[in-house]
Amino acid sequence: MNKGVFILLPISIILISVILLVSYTDHFSRQREQMVHRQLRARGITDSRTLEAMRNTERHHFVPGSQQRFAYDDRPLPIGHGQTISQPYIVAYMTEIIEPKSHYNVLEIGTGSGYQAAVLAEIVDKVYTIEIIEALGKQAIEVIDKLGYDNIYVKIADGYYGWEEHAPFDAIVVTAAAEHIPPPLVDQLREGGKMIIPVGSPFRVQQLMLVEKKNGRLSTKNLMPVRFVPFRRADD
């Protein structure tokens, strides 16, 4: 073998790897762009901050390797331990409905993969998120750290009790279906704040509800029928 091969071979291998990596990344960003147009805009998501956050958040990092190629499909996906990451439209809808602002302090119950928390963290100041399944919580922390989010705080606990030290919250997003609205979460919502929560029996169709605290009183509105995994309790 002559000297040229020794030099050219490693250079071509590096070049080919770079090209593959770029086209792979590009492939996902194209899929995200399509997701924003076909699944979100087409169905009435209009908030520019929400659309931008959905465009920027790399959903494929939040799903198991075997699901990555489906990451931008119009459906929920399994994330292990019997749990699911919600369909992109639902994530965008729940983000838009709380009217997130850059100074907001948001609480999420049900970290799961960490994706909804990441979408929120693209817009708001701080996201506090609670997960009851330890393994999922730890996995989410790993992904969140790897992607460099420094405004997401994860706690492994029963989210029924909220996160008192960081209350009041400007908004609360609950991503597991509860049989009733947990009173501690209502207490931790600031005056004028909004909570979005699926309410209803586990494994049945539930109602996605918008809860608002106005002059110390709660107003609730049914938004749409949904199907979420159940809100579990620590002693289940």
Q: Return the active site residues.
A: 86
Pairing outcome for strands 126-131 and 206-214: unpaired
Which one-letter amino acid corresponds to residue 137? G
Q: Which residues pair with 194 in a beta bridge?
A: 171, 212
Q: How far is the C-alpha of 222 from the C-alpha of 71, rounded, in Å?
A: 29
Assigned token pair, 79: 């994330």
What is the nearest approach in angstroms of ligand SAH to the Cβ of residue 118? 8
Give the ranges where the chain is alpha helix by DSSP (H): 3-34, 48-56, 88-97, 115-121, 134-146, 183-187
Token pair 């608002």: residue? 212
* Cβ proximity to ligand SAH, 51 vs 85, nearer residue: 85
Nearer to ligand SAH, 36 or 176 (CB): 176
CB of 19 to ligand SAH, least distance (A): 32
Q: For residue 24, how many other CB atoms are within 10 A of its CB? A: 10
| Least distance CB 157 / ligand SAH (angstroms) | 7
Nearer to ligand SAH, 191 or 236 (CB): 236
Q: Which is nearer to ligand SAH, 113 or 188 (CB)?
A: 113
Helix axes 88-97, 48-56, angle to 10 degrees: 140
Work out how close the CB of 176 gets to ligand SAH at its nearest, in angstroms, rounded to a whole number.
4
- Taking the CA atoms of residue 100, residue 102, residue 107 and residue 113 in that order, the dihedral angle to the nearest 10 degrees is 90
- Minimal distance in Å, beta carbon 232 to ligand SAH? 4
| Residue ranges that bind ligand SAH, judged by CB under 6 A | 79, 83-86, 109-110, 112-113, 115-116, 130-133, 136, 158-160, 175-176, 229, 231-232
Q: How many CA atoms lie within 13 A of 221 on its CB side?
A: 9
Find residue 109's DSSP bridge partners.
130, 174
Between 62 and 104, CB nearer to ligand SAH: 62
CA distance 192 to 181: 17
